[in-house]
Amino acid sequence: MPNINLVDEEKWKALLECDPTYDGRFFYGVKTTGIFCRPSCKSKSPKRENVVFFDTAEEAREGGLRPCKRCRPDLLEFQPLKETAEKMKAICEQYFLEHNELKKKLSDIGLSRNRMTQVFQAQYGKTPAEYVNQLRVERCKMFLTDTRNNILQIALQSGFESLSTFYTQFRKVTGMSPKEYRENLAQHTLKR
């Protein structure tokens, strides 16, 4: 085994432990693959004799190595869970009216339903279902304000599949029934 100074030994230990506290402090390259990574990369641990350490990502590139696609050492900040949550949010916003398409697009992300809920809740403080219902209620509020459509029409136009779910979610978000919301809105408008 080659003589390794203390600094390299500490880096090697951080690499083996996938220690994120060392991210940005150094990068490591694997000579046999031609790839460089962050210390926190979850890829298979390389053989010690194939590893070379770099202080910056630029040094690794100058050494002829390309960035790992898993840990993305070429990005200043890499937060895959945040990106996944943002992607889920965009899907919810685009497809909240279309149940089947929403379900399909969310399943295309490749996470279990429980994991999606955990990731989304960690980022936004609510579950994807709560967010979708909030979007639907906001749409209902718009229809209650701008149209004279009946409650059933509004519920269906806003993506709710049942009237009972609509009433439950509307009250949960607004603190009142759709009828009370419309009446309060009308009273407020008359007072102006």
Kindly list the catalytic residues.
37
Per the CB < 8 A criterion, the answer to whether 160 and 169 are in contact is yes
Q: How many CA atoms lie within 13 A of 132 on its CB side?
A: 22
Q: Which of 181, 169, 159, 97 lies closest to 127, judged by CA? A: 169
In angstroms, the CA 105 to CA 11 distance is 41
In angstroms, the CA 80 to CA 122 distance is 13
